[in-house]
Every structure is written in C-alpha cells, then in structure tokens.
Amino acid sequence: MQRTSGLLLHLTSLPGRFGIGDLGAESRRFIDFLAAAGQRWWQLLPINPTGYGNSPYSAFSAFAGNPLLISPDELAAAGDLDEDDLAAWRLAPEHTDYGHAWRCRRQLLPQAAGRFFRQAGKARKATFDTFCAEQAFWLNDYALFQALREHFGNRDWTRWPEPIRDRREEALRNWGERLAGRILQLKYEQFVFFEQWRKLKKHAGRHGIGLFGDMPIFVALDSADVWCNRPLFRLDGQGQPTAVAGVPPDYFSERGQRWGTPLYDWPAHQAQDFSWWKARLRWNLQLFELLRIDHFRGFAACWVIPADSEDATGGAWEQVPGDRLFRSLTDELGVLPLVAEDLGIITDDVTALKRRWGWPGMKVLQFAFDSGPDNPYLPHNHEENCVVYTGTHDNDTTLGWWQKLDGHARNRVRSYLMRSCRDMPRELIREAMASVARLCILPVQDILALPSTARMNRPGAPSGNWTWRLPDDALTDALASELRRLTERYGRLA
C-alpha cells in the first residue's frame, strides 16, 4: 500500500435536504473536497439497511443497501419523481432525523417505483432486469424478508407464523405470490440504491479517491441472512440463539458489550466450503477498494455469552477456524484488500493470525498515552503495515477527549509530544500524519476541531448515537488547502 491518507465520514453525516445524508450531490461534493485536500481514501461505516437504534452495525441484510441513503434528488434526475414530489419532504436538521428520513422514503420510493415500471425506457428496464438476475442470490430472499416483516407489523422473523418462519416450501410460494407487488418495489429500491452507488463510485474513481468500507463480522438475528441460512448459525428450534456474541470488559465498557448477535456454526460453514462468506466478501469488494473487517479478533476466538445473560461478564472465549476461512477465501477471490480492526483485548493468537495473512491493523492515538513506552499505540511502536487514526467512530472527538483528560494525563501527552498542546487536536493530527503507518485516517470531526457534541457513537449507550451531521459549508477551500499542505509535508499526497 502506498503512503496515503484519508478521512472518515459516514454517509448519514453528510449535509442533505431530506433529513439524512445520502447518495446525492453532497456525496460527490465531499469527494471533490477529498481530492482538493490531497486525500486518497474516503472511509465509511457499513451501508446496509438499519433497524431499531439506527446502528450501521446491526442490519437487516449483509448485502442490501440502506434505502434511507437513496437520494430523492437523484430519483427526480432519473425521471422517477417530479420536483414537486419532493417539496413537502425537504428538511435539513442539524442532526440526522431518522424518523423524517424513513417517512420520506416510505412515501417517495413506492411512488418512484410505480412511475419507473410505468414509464421507464427499455434500456433502463433492461438494466433493472439484469440487476435482479445478477443479484438474485441475495435480492430475492431480502425482498421477501422485508415484505414479510412489514406485513407482520415489523416483528422479527422468529415471531412469524411457523410455516413461513421455518421457510416451508408451500409457505414461501404462497407468500411470494401474495406480496409480489411489494417485493417488486423492494427490488426497485435496491436497484436505485446501487445505481446511485455506481455513480458515486465512478465519480470517486475519476478523482483518484478510493472507497474504504466496513464489514461487521456478525450479522443481526433479525436479518434476511439468518432467516435464510439458519443451519449456519447457533440457533434452537424456534430460531432463537443458544448463545450470543459480544466482548468482555474493556476500555469502552466496564461490563463488556453484549451485542446479542447470533454466533456462527463454524463446522456448518466449513462443510459448505465457506460459500456464504465467499459471496459476502465478493460483493463487498465490488463496492469498495479497501475493506475494514470489524472485530477481527473474532476470527481467532470469539467471546461467547450465554443467551440468558444480561451482560457480557459471564462469557468465555471459543476458538474460531480463521486460517481455514481465509485460505478458502483467498483461494477463491485472490489477494484480499482488508484492514483488520484489532482494537480491544488482543492476544498473541490474534496478532499472529493478522500477520500470517499480511493485513494491516489499526493504531488509535487516543489509546496511546495511558501506560508506558511499550504501549503499542504510541507512534514509536507503529509499523508501516498499519492504519493510524486519531480516533474512530467509537471514540470521542479528539478535542472532546483532550478536554476530558485530567491534569496528569494531559502532562503525559505533552511530555511525549514535546509540545504545549494548546492547539489540540492539530497536535495529534500532525502526529498521526507523521507516523510510519502507510495509511492515516482522520475523522472529519477532528479536522474541524469539534467538541464531544460531534461524537458519532458511544458504545453501550442505548440511544443518541449515529446522528451527528456535517454543518453546511464547513469544508472550505481554505481547509482543503491546509490539509493538502499537511499531507504533502508528511509524504502522503496521493
């Protein structure tokens, strides 16, 4: 990997006119800023359809795109809506308004689908048919799953009537016929999502910007993936997990994190030569040039929590056949452009697994100053094959982090950096840019020197996350020039 840098910003955080950032003009405007600032990468959070809590790490599908990210403006430009259709839905709140975004798309997307099927030209309809055929391996199940979920009052699939819960052939056929109209609309939603994604990706490519994605290791219980692939997960006869995933107590949570996601039945995956994983990686690598694997340590061993435990403290480690999985994936897909999220409790087996496959790990500078000189996050302990961050979406902003440090902790930072740190977060940004790490990623909140109110996520907090939005006109030409000079100074110009 060439020595480069980039910015971290989720699509929902972009400015926009319909309650949430989306795949419209503002996403291309952000790419223009990245190019002007000498950056090479745009790192995003997962782009899959989210449910309760709006976490991008808990999705209804590991393959589908989030319909809330579909741009109504782009639908109008494609002829599927009129400008008059959009007027009542224009809203640009300071924070993401998921309720408004959902109501807007719930009204406009079926309307756009109806016009598409009535009026679209032959070429675009043929493109739709091709998309449905090529993506049938996930699209058919996803569209049926979502149509059923809506029909049953948004109840999770384990609470559906037993014949369809258990995917009996006659029930699948009957429900597929009964909900055929809605299923077609849902396929249209995915078609236009990825139509808009391809436009974004093409714009990024023209400007030399790579899209850096994020893939959670686990999938939600209430997802098309689990409903359609029950033998691949550790579930009981009613579809309930026999144990769930999480992490033990760490920096982020003193009682650990109980994610509640079902665990993989690894022998079942191995018996299928990891075909589900191959399909998942193949699809993601069509969307992104680089892909972060969240919770990489779960490929060496995962924290298994009894399903009836209220928190993660009663869990235990279980080994995972990571090497066999990665061998099968690379035999099928070739060299995998992955980044291993190796934060938290990292044991020697996790480090060895990462190094055997040659993937870079992550170094977060906010973690660097709470122990001695052997702290692996301190810049003098970095290696070239890693990605350095000031902080991630799970951290406070760097300014917020600095403001919360006590006097002793601030003195440790000053002593190491040999600076007064009156200009935080710029001091930490410079330290990240100067690192030997080949890739440096900065959260947009840090280049704007924003306080804790701009934090994206507080792990373990049940609400209030994923709502920060970039203020209009915050990314100025002057800021792009300043960031470009810094990028050039430390040898990271793309």
Phi-psi category of residue 280: left, alpha or beta, with phi > 0 → left and psi -120 to 50 → alpha: alpha
394 is catalytic: yes
Question: DSSP state, 312?
Answer: S
Strand, coil or helix: 243? strand
Peptide bond between residue 425 and the one before it cis (omega within 30 degrees of 0): yes
What burial letters (b/e) apply to 121-149, b meaning 16+ CB within 10 Å? eeebeeebeebbeebeebbbbbbbbbbbb
Which element (helix H / strand E) includes 318? strand 316-319
Q: Which listed residue (166, 250, 289, 394) is catalytic?
A: 394
Residue 341, phi then psi, degrees to nearest 5: -75, 100
CA distances (Å), origin 214, targets 281, 296, 437: 11, 12, 19
Q: Based on DSSP, count helices (H) and strands (E) in the chain, helices before strands.
A: 19, 12
Tell me the residue ranges of DSSP E strands in 379-429.
386-389
Q: CB-based contacts of 321: which residues, under 8 Å, 6+ apart?
A: 266, 270
Q: Which listed residue (74, 294, 342, 427) is catalytic?
A: 294
368 exposure class (CB count in 10 Å sphere: 0-12, 13-18, 19+): buried
Strand, coil or helix: 305? strand
Give the number of other Cβ atoms within 10 Å of residue 103's Cβ: 13
Cβ atoms of 460 and 12 within 8 Å: the answer is: no
265 is catalytic: no
294 is catalytic: yes
Written as one letter, the residue type at 129 is: D
Cβ atoms of 48 and 62 within 8 Å: the answer is: yes
Q: Which listed residue (73, 225, 341, 342) is catalytic?
A: 341
Question: DSSP state, 397?
Answer: P
The Cα 203–Cα 182 span in angstroms is 32
Cβ atoms of 15 and 26 within 8 Å: the answer is: yes
Residue 407, phi then psi, degrees to nearest 5: -60, -40
Give catalytic residue positions: 294, 341, 394
